[in-house]
A and B are shown apart, each in its own frame.
Chain A
């Protein structure tokens, strides 16, 4: 019996690993819990990218749901995400707010001129201070914020067709059903 102990111990480990693999197929191992989820978005007041003299605050955007999309011209993945946003943006049914993150305004404008501008509104956070309040992890990142200013969904990394179809659109649908 004693000699079987190592075997039994190992089989317990195998069970644990099998569970780990199963768990990983159900959960994104890289998912970072967002403490802000279903909480009011942090207050902000940022200049518009094209008219830096005007600022946009959280209060200005209340009343209509919007997708806050963090992007930057220096960010490679944003280039991957951009065509998806351009294609899917109009059909989402929410305002598309571009959040230009730690970027020189000239670079951002060049980038948008080259790739096209899918955004309804563009705000710039060149020092990246407000992004800290949002818990921005890196660009690209997207926040779905409802009419009351509550964060309903968050995605880290580029929005792909798959993410839009499987996560973002259902989240928008659920949000609109709740508060039309």
Chain B
């Protein structure tokens, strides 16, 4: 009976979402306060019912209700409880439910924190969120019901995809969705502004913390996904330019551009139309990601069941939401080039170049991802582009971003002074050159590694120089407001990330070896001794577990246990063993026994020495932290009505100009 209640809750949520979207829009149009007032209670009501549906599905998993098809397909009696919770979003139907649930979390947060916004504007924003919810609720109810029953009820279920039975994968989808869905807030702000023909730019400042938080979550989700791919897939890679990874990376790139464009628009009033367009793009790409993953138009390692009906539904929804908002943009976008003028040598110019680079990079990723589809359409046969395409174009596009990054903060709004720039160029340049020379001796002429060290030194020196400048020139308390601190942290993250990528890519050592028990392999100063394989058992798997002892300078450093697991339903999954470190990871993956029946004999193993690979994720986490810190800035807190806020902006701009 309970699963039917879940379905009923979803239907009620859909009805409330309809009320939440249609009535306030009508009210805002007609100036009817009663209709506008529907927005918040309807949003909260919708969230309650969606949470109920989510809870009921989780409960069905917890008490092994295999009469629910989705539960039977994705769990079994031996699956530990934490993975049964994670199984709620382990497949198509449940992950959609998670998507909707998170959309409701954002909507309720928005409803709670928008009390001080002008009523017309706030009700439009919430109504747009409601429209998105209508689409997704209809999608889940009509094409992807998670509460479908299975008759007769099986005694035990299948299994959660073993690839997903990993802590990293448990957090990856919720974080990613927090990011994807979070962009809906910036989107809703833009649409509300277009609908209302907002002349003031105040709404951009209201939207900024939301964008920053969404982007931070997306960063966190991508980092978790990358870490999971590294630890779980056994190839030692951290990014594969897989269509589904790309689907999460495109909104990230556009989101990064949006964060910067919003700053320009908020403080200077320029780039208004561009900011609106980027907010539409960021969320559209999130929807597109959902479409690509769920429709089966592209196949990838994330092979989800594809159903043409679902594809058609999402495509129709995508057309209405994205097509509609782009049409609205074409009709209503700010007609005049507003904002204060700026010179060629100014902060605006640098931010604009960065913005263009991010946008072009996102377009490049989109083109590469859709290439197989274009190939089919133009009858070129089955083709796809892979790492060579992305690996060549992406660094090329990001090079200007990295080069310009130190200058951004030093340049002033409107105009910059050449001498100040020369100074940065000189100091950061010297730091980069010195680090590069030092690195050249250490890494033995590996060009990529030297470039990585130089680029990281360049970025980090730039960030530190600016931090120092503020420390010297401003009084205590004014030096690092949250917005500034967040920016510095995120930019520091870029430097750390660049170092991690280039150093690990160029200096990694991979060995595919055959090892008999007792044999050793050397990588650099590390000795890997294979001590054989024994059996290990988990709650729902059996494994061949290798024992690899790592020795350095005659001292035992660590013992690693790579596994080859066989889950209850026969799926085989490698569990690599990773010994993490600040300057290097040691990574061992167990292959196959050389002689099929003989587990005690020699095995194929893959050994990796990956220097600085952890910096990649550390950089990502710094960027995430930067986004979150930035969002806490006091300036973004809504205190009084809109008029006084505008006054505060003017005051702050004076302060910014002095800074």
A residues at B contact (CB < 8 Å): 3-4, 6-7, 10-11, 13-14, 16-21, 23-25, 29-30, 33, 74-76, 102, 104, 126-127
Contact = CB atoms under 8 A, between A and B. Distances in A.
B326 A10 contact: yes
A18 B281 CA distance: 20
A167 to B, nearest CB: 19
Nearest to B292: A17
B373 A6 contact: no
Closest 5 CB pairs of A and B: A20-B297, A7-B326, A3-B330, A21-B311, A4-B330
A18 B280 CA distance: 21
Nearest to A22: B308
Contacts of A20: 295, 297-298, 311, 373, 376-377
Contact of B306 (A7, A14, A24, A102): A24
B569 A76 contact: yes
Given A3-B329, A3-B333, A33 B382 contact: yes
Contacts of B281: 6
Contacts of B273: 3
B570 A74 contact: yes
25 contacts: A3-B329, A3-B331, A3-B333, A6-B277, A6-B329, A10-B322, A10-B323, A10-B326, A14-B319, A16-B373, A16-B377, A17-B295, A17-B311, A20-B295, A20-B297, A21-B308, A23-B376, A24-B296, A24-B297, A29-B299, A74-B570, A76-B570, A102-B596, A104-B597, A126-B596
B315 A14 contact: yes
B312 A30 contact: no
Contacts of A7: 323, 326-327, 329-330
Given A16-B370, A16-B373, A21 B326 contact: no
A71 to B, nearest CB: 14
A75 B569 CA distance: 10
A16 B322 contact: no
Contacts of A127: 596
A14 B318 contact: yes
A29 B315 contact: no
Interface string B351-391: 00000000000000000001001101100001000000000
Interface of B: 273, 277, 280-281, 284, 291, 295-299, 303, 306, 308, 311-312, 315, 318-319, 322-323, 326-327, 329-331, 333, 370, 373-374, 376-377, 382, 569-570, 596-597
Contacts of A18: 315
Nearest to A1: B330
Contacts of A74: 570
A24 B297 CA distance: 7
A24 B299 CA distance: 11
Given A25-B308, A29-B306, A17 B329 contact: no
Most B C-beta atoms less than 10 A away, residue of A18, A20, A21: A20
A30 B299 CA distance: 8
B333 A29 contact: no
A8 to B, nearest CB: 9
B326 A16 contact: no
Contacts of B326: 6-7, 10
B295 A19 contact: no
Nearest to B314: A17
Nearest to A11: B323
A24 B280 CA distance: 28
B330 A29 contact: no
Nearest to B284: A10
A107 to B, nearest CB: 11
Contacts of B291: 17
B329 to A, nearest CB: 6
B312 to A, nearest CB: 6
A24 B310 CA distance: 12
A21 B333 contact: no
A156 B271 CA distance: 54
A75 to B, nearest CB: 8
B177 to A, nearest CB: 22
Nearest to A4: B330
A10 B303 CA distance: 26
A47 to B, nearest CB: 16
A17 B297 contact: yes
B76 to A, nearest CB: 14
Contacts of B570: 74-76
Given A11-B323, A16-B374, A17-B373, 18 more contacts: A3-B333, A10-B323, A14-B323, A16-B373, A18-B315, A19-B373, A20-B298, A20-B311, A21-B295, A21-B308, A21-B315, A23-B376, A24-B296, A24-B297, A24-B306, A30-B303, A76-B570, A102-B596
A104 B331 CA distance: 70
Contacts of B382: 33
A33 B311 CA distance: 24
A23 B176 CA distance: 30
A75 B299 CA distance: 24
B287 to A, nearest CB: 11
Contacts of B311: 17, 20-21, 24
Contacts of B296: 24, 29
Contacts of A21: 295, 297, 308, 311-312, 315
Most B C-beta atoms less than 10 A away, residue of A17, A30, A75: A17
B244 to A, nearest CB: 15
Most A C-beta atoms less than 10 A away, residue of B280, B306, B326, B377: B326
Contacts of A11: 323
B375 to A, nearest CB: 11
A113 to B, nearest CB: 20
Contacts of A25: 308
A172 B402 CA distance: 62
A102 B298 CA distance: 32
A10 B306 CA distance: 23
A18 B319 CA distance: 11
Most A C-beta atoms less than 10 A away, residue of B299, B311, B569: B311
B330 to A, nearest CB: 4
Contacts of A17: 291, 295, 297, 311, 315, 318, 373
A10 B370 CA distance: 13
A72 to B, nearest CB: 11
Contacts of A104: 597
Nearest to A128: B596
Nearest to B281: A6
Nearest to A2: B330
B571 to A, nearest CB: 9
A105 B402 CA distance: 61
B599 to A, nearest CB: 13
A24 B305 CA distance: 12
A19 B374 CA distance: 10
Contacts of A6: 277, 280-281, 326, 329-330
A16 B281 CA distance: 18
A17 B317 CA distance: 13
Contacts of B569: 76
Contacts of A29: 296, 299, 306
Nearest to B363: A9
Contacts of A13: 370
Nearest to B335: A3
Nearest to A7: B326
Nearest to A21: B311
B182 to A, nearest CB: 22
A8 B312 CA distance: 20
